Structure 1
Amino acid sequence: MQNSNQFTTGILFFLLVLLSHQAFAQPTETYPKITGYASIMHPIVIVNKDHTTTNFDRYYQVVFPFGINIWKSKKIGFSIELAPGIKSEEGTSKMNNLLIHPGVLIALGKGFGFAGRVAFETSGRYGITPVFSKVVKKNKESAFYIAIPMPLRLGNNQPASLSAGFQIGISF
């Protein structure tokens, strides 16, 4: 009888350890993993060989990037982004550009990330956009982030330009 009680106690202890391990175990992520995001981006400054322009100087421009990320692993992924832009100038506003923005994503650790994007604009410009980002608040189903995009643009009979902006968004 005592051996039977020890055996039953041992089995119960084993099951308790097994169940408690499952209860506290972190779920493993499977890849590829698809995520999405939506954001708002304010261009801050645009510099070319002729002049420097700042947002709010003669006009106000705002861009609404949104997209889908396909993470191949925890460290690297692919992203496709669409970013319509609205410009307000001299009392009128209009959608003045649509940016098609595919690129490679690299997770740098501790919430930091890098996106290397190519850019195709309906305005006739094209180029590259390195984007550095940081997750500032992570929730169970989403994350809030800030980013600094630095577009380099060419084409459309305009001088090459380099700009910087401030972006804030939510990924889910």
Structure 2
Amino acid sequence: MNKIYVVSGWLPAPNQRISKTILGLFTCVVLLALSPQANLLAQTQPTVTYPRMVGYLGVLHPLITRNETGTETNFDRYYVVGLPIGLNLWKTKQLGFSVEVVPLIRAENGNSRVANVLFHPGVLMNLGKDFTLATRLAFETSGRYGFTPVLNKIVRKGPTNSYFVAVPLPVRFGNDHATSFTVGFQFGIVF
């Protein structure tokens, strides 16, 4: 009588090989089906319907401001930070409307205050590859007004929120001040 001995359980005997293989495959399928990753694999990507609304929060740092009297830089004699809060209503995948409110806080000589509040409505254009161009009008409580083109990039997507960086380029007029142009840096979260 020929007997096959299994060393370390790796190879079953010929008459047990098929049943153990089926049992092993069945066990793998059951374990995969019950695992949390199986739910992710089984779910289809949700279809995005339009119109679609998202909110966002951010931190804005104006870096350099240029006007006819010269150039000012943030972090030099003073520090200004903005805290944009907004809603984006995407009408289609390519086009949307945004409204944003930005309180601007200025710290100088040991004091800080809300120096300005900006109302910032605009049109959003999806440029592809997670880039968006926002063309915004600007109305400030300081009496200044103008426009702000903003180039935005989603840098990390999550299941419930995404993170972005942006470069706003504000141009301002009015209130007996020279026309100014600013380059800024913004980052934040979309939810």
TM (norm. structure 1) is 0.85
Counterpart selection for 2:140 from 121, 133, 136: 121
The number of aligned residues is: 150
Equivalent residue number for residue 16 of structure 2? none
Is 1:137 aligned to residue 156 of structure 2? yes
Equivalent position SS for 1:163: strand
What's the % identity of the aligned pairs?
A: 51
Equivalent position SS for 1:114: strand
Give the counterpart letter for 2:62 in structure 1. Answer: P
Unpaired segments ≥5 residues, structure 1: 1-22
Equivalent position SS for 2:63: strand
Counterpart selection for 1:96 from 89, 95, 115: 115
Superposed counterparts of 1:37-116, under 5 Å: 37-116=56-135
Equivalent residue number for residue 33 of structure 2? none
Give the counterpart letter for 1:151 in structure 2. Answer: P
After TM superposition, give the deviation of residue 58 of structure 1 in Å.
1.2
Quote the Cα distance in structure 2 between the aligned partners of 1:31 and 1:153. 34
TM-superposition CA deviations, 1:36-76 (whole Å, max 9, x none): 00000001000001110000111000000010010001111
Question: RCO higher in 1 or 2 (8 Å CA, sep ≥ 6)?
Answer: 1
After TM superposition, give the deviation of residue 24 of structure 1 in Å.
5.1
Quote the Cα distance in structure 1 between the aligned partners of 2:154 and 2:47. 20
Quote the Cα distance in structure 1 between the aligned partners of 2:58 and 2:190. 9
Quote the Cα distance in structure 1 between the aligned partners of 2:101 and 2:49. 26
Is 1:36 aligned to residue 55 of structure 2? yes
Quote the Cα distance in structure 1 between the aligned partners of 2:79 and 2:67. 18
Quote the Cα distance in structure 2 between the aligned partners of 1:73 and 1:132. 19
Is 1:171 aligned to residue 190 of structure 2? yes
Equivalent residue number for residue 152 of structure 1? 171
TM-superposition CA deviations, 1:84-137 (whole Å, max 9, x none): 000001110000000000000011111111000000000000000000011110
After TM superposition, give the deviation of residue 25 of structure 1 in Å.
3.3
Rg larger for:
2
Question: Once structures 1 and 2 are overlaid, which stretch shifts more, 25-34 or 97-106?
Answer: 25-34
Equivalent position SS for 1:170: strand
TM (norm. structure 2) is 0.77
Quote the Cα distance in structure 2 between the aligned partners of 1:102 and 1:69. 10
Alignment RMSD, CA only?
Answer: 0.8
